[in-house]
Amino acid sequence: MKKIFAANWKLFKTPQETRAFFQAFKEVANKATGDLVFFPSALCLEAASNSLQGTKIQFGAQNCFSQVQGAFTGENSAQTAKDMGAQYILIGHSERRQIFGETDAMIADKVALVQSLGLIPLLCIGETLNERESKHTYRILETQLQLGLAKADKAKPLVVAYEPVWAIGTGKVATQEQVAETHTDVQTILKGLGFSAPILYGGSVKPDNAAGLISQPHVSGFLVGGASLEVDSFIKIASV
Ligand code: PEP
């Protein structure tokens, strides 16, 4: 199966910086060994859409509301992202769960909406350090998948990102053994629920650890935060 290299830009880059990034990135994008998907902040989606026209590089929004329109001040519509050319929506990132109080029930509604629009949900799951140290990782991931996929369509495309919360933006990458073990668990849980989906790893992926991580079982690619902001580091990761 083709690998997926996804970039989560969080709340970084202006439209001008987005255009400049893609101008340079398009020169090297052919080195990538899998599909490329960028998640710019919502106000930069138009700049991304314009910059990526005529390329195979895909993009999506970092979040959406669970309805396509209505009196929901400040929210973003997956339908609007689709109209702009988006193919993916990132759902349930740990920053959404922790900072903005997103629950598994809210996430389930978003996954269902995104699939119903013909977009691909990239569902993020992951345990905290405390949960890992208390040996609750399997149960936490199982719950997040069970509840987050409660309204999902098994016949429609889905991508899952396993992102241990303690490894996001901390520089503390999971070991190859932890990634191998946990991705195998995620694959088993998904199968038990009747889903089949590529499983990306996310959490302090850098050019120097990408090759070791991608060779672990059931690792179908990466979701990259910090190291995706620079052309050079992201293309090094995407060409492993
Ligand atoms: C992320 O934001 O999904 C992420 C994995 O960030 P970082 O690569 O910076 O840890």
DSSP class per residue in 42-103: GGGHHHHHHHHTTSS-EEEES---SSSSSS-TT---HHHHHHTT--EEEE--HHHHHHS---
pLDDT above 90 for 126:
yes
Average pLDDT, integer, range 100-104: 98
Average pLDDT, integer, range 191-219: 98
Average pLDDT, integer, range 57-81: 98
Domain extent, residue 106, equals: 4-238
What is the model's pLDDT at position 134? 97
Distance 10 CA to ligand 1 centre (A): 9
CA separation for the pair 129, 154 (Å, rounded) = 31
pLDDT above 90 for 221:
yes
What is the model's pLDDT at position 55? 98
Confidence of residue 121 (pLDDT cuts 50, 70, 90): very high
Q: Establish whether residue 121 lines the binding site of ligand 1, counting it when its CB lies within 6 angstroms of any ligand atom.
A: no
Tell me how many domains the chain contains: 1
Q: Establish whether residue 169 lines the binding site of ligand 1, counting it when its CB lies within 6 angstroms of any ligand atom.
A: yes
User: Do residues 127 and 164 make contact, with C-beta atoms less than 8 angstroms apart?
Assistant: yes
CA separation for the pair 114, 234 (Å, rounded) = 27
Ligand 1: atom nearest CA of 10 is 2
User: Do residues 47 and 13 make contact, with C-beta atoms less than 8 angstroms apart?
Assistant: no
Distance 224 CA to ligand 1 centre (A): 5
- Global pTM? 0.98
Distances (CA, A) of 184 to 26, 50, 199: 34, 38, 10
Average pLDDT score, the chain: 98
- DSSP code, position 222: E
Average pLDDT, integer, range 172-198: 97
pLDDT above 90 for 32:
yes
Residue nearest (by alpha carbon) to ligand 1 atom 3: 225
Distance 195 CA to ligand 1 centre (A): 25
Please say if 163 is a catalytic residue.
Answer: yes
pLDDT above 90 for 1:
no
CATH number at residue 29: 3.20.20.70
pLDDT above 90 for 205:
yes
Q: Establish whether residue 203 lines the binding site of ligand 1, counting it when its CB lies within 6 angstroms of any ligand atom.
A: yes
Residue nearest (by alpha carbon) to ligand 1 atom 8: 225
Options 131, 163, 183, 218, the catalytic residue: 163
Beta bridge mates, 3: 34
